[in-house]
């Protein structure tokens, strides 16, 4: 029982991170119907940027760990947003009217480029930082096993919740959100009605990247280690989360993220940790095959 509870806590933490990445997938898919394959690598890149900035602030400027982390995270959000802006501009914008698989192939190319770019510039090995902010709250004690909840975990879940609320507000209430939904429905019509489609799509990529950067920073904080091949598997899992929640749906992405996080940790605990990725990949395949509109998505009627 204690172990189960602990795994639930760990799963929700991991799931929050997946959910943050999944929002990037789901927003881009919603607006231009493209599987942004490189998004996982953008997440990895953001973790590297946060790592380097953290080291820069602590080693060179002598800042304390906590403020340095917050500063690194915010700066990483800005820089990763710039990266994704540039990526969209260079690799995807021209392809919106190309043949249907062109954006996906381009995104695969971009994903390959980013992973190897970081490998070349930072080396292929694990980069680990000393653990920070390790205080925990004991939820149960005295049993065979102490269930703990760390401040980091609380922070991760709280940040995810706050960001979800903020973006829900943006999409529902602001001009940007209206423009996004207009482009989703019919980009050509939106353009005729004066919506700047290019700007709206670019902003969507920028927001997605900023959220991925939050996820990257929190990932670094929680697990303390990152390497250049870390974009692929978390990326696919976050995409799974987006699909499971119903692609195009914001709360769906977070719900999907939590589910994937839980499935992964519980599977790892009770079945086999070697095969924990198989669980996520199977969920992906099964969802796409049997319920492609996910838990909270709209069904897709084939137009003839």
Q: Provide the binding-site residues for other proteins, judged by CB under 8 A.
A: 34-35, 45, 48-49, 51-53, 55-56, 59-60, 79, 82-83, 86, 90-91, 94-95, 98-106, 108-124, 127-130, 232, 236, 239, 272, 274-275, 277-278, 281-282, 284-285, 288-289, 292, 301-302, 304
DSSP annotation string for 258-276? HHHHHHHHHHHHHT-STTH
85 vs 168, beta carbon nearer other proteins: 85
Give the Cα separation of 282 and 240 in Å (integer): 9
Shortest separation between residue 40's beta carbon and other proteins, angstroms: 11
Q: Which is nearer to other proteins, 94 or 138 (CB)?
A: 94
Place of tokens 């501009």: 89
Residue closest to 248 by CA, chosen among 96, 36, 86: 36
Q: Are 41 and 235 in contact (CB under 8 A)?
A: yes
Q: Which is nearer to other proteins, 48 or 69 (CB)?
A: 48
CA distances from 59 to 53, 75, 122, 153 (A): 10, 17, 18, 26
CA nearest to 128, candidates 54, 223, 64: 223
Using CA atoms, how far apart are residues 216 and 54, in angstroms rounded to an integer? Answer: 13
Least CB distance to other proteins at residue 16 (A): 23
Q: Which is nearer to other proteins, 11 or 235 (CB)?
A: 235
14 or 49: CB nearest other proteins:
49
**230: exposed, middle or buried (Cβ count in 10 Å: 0-12, 13-18, 19+):** buried
């Amino acid at each position: 029982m204690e172990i189960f509870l602990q795994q639930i806590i760990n799963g929700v933490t991991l799931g929050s991170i997946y959910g943050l990445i999944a929002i990037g997938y789901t927003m881009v898919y919603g607006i231009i119907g493209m599987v942004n394959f490189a998004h996982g690598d953008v997440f990895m890149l953001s973790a590297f940027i946060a790592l380097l900035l953290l080291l820069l602030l602590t080693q060179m400027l002598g800042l304390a760990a906590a403020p340095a982390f917050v500063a690194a995270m915010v700066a990483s959000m800005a820089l990763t947003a710039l990266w994704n802006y540039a990526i969209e501009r260079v690799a995807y914008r021209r392809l919106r009217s190309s043949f249907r698989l062109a954006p996906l192939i381009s995104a695969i190319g971009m994903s390959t480029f980013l992973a190897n770019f970081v490998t070349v510039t930072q080396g292929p090995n694990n980069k680990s930082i000393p653990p920070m902010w390790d205080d925990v709250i004991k939820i149960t004690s005295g049993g065979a096993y102490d269930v703990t909840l760390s401040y980091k975990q609380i922070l991760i879940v709280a940040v995810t919740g706050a960001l979800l609320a903020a973006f829900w507000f943006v999409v529902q209430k602001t001009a940007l959100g209206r423009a996004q939904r207009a482009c989703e429905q019919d980009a050509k019509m939106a353009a005729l009605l004066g919506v700047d489609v290019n700007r709206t799509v670019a902003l969507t990529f920028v927001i997605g990247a900023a959220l991925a950067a939050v996820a990257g920073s929190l990932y670094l904080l929680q697990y303390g280690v990152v390497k250049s091949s870390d974009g692929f598997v978390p990326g696919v899992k976050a995409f799974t989360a987006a699909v499971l929640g119903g692609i195009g749906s914001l709360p769906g992405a977070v719900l999907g993220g939590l589910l994937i996080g839980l499935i992964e940790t519980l599977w790892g605990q009770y079945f086999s940790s070697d095969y924990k990725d198989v669980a996520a990949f199977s969920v992906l395949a099964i969802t796409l095959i049997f319920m492609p509109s996910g838990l909270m998505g709209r069904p897709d009627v084939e137009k003839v």
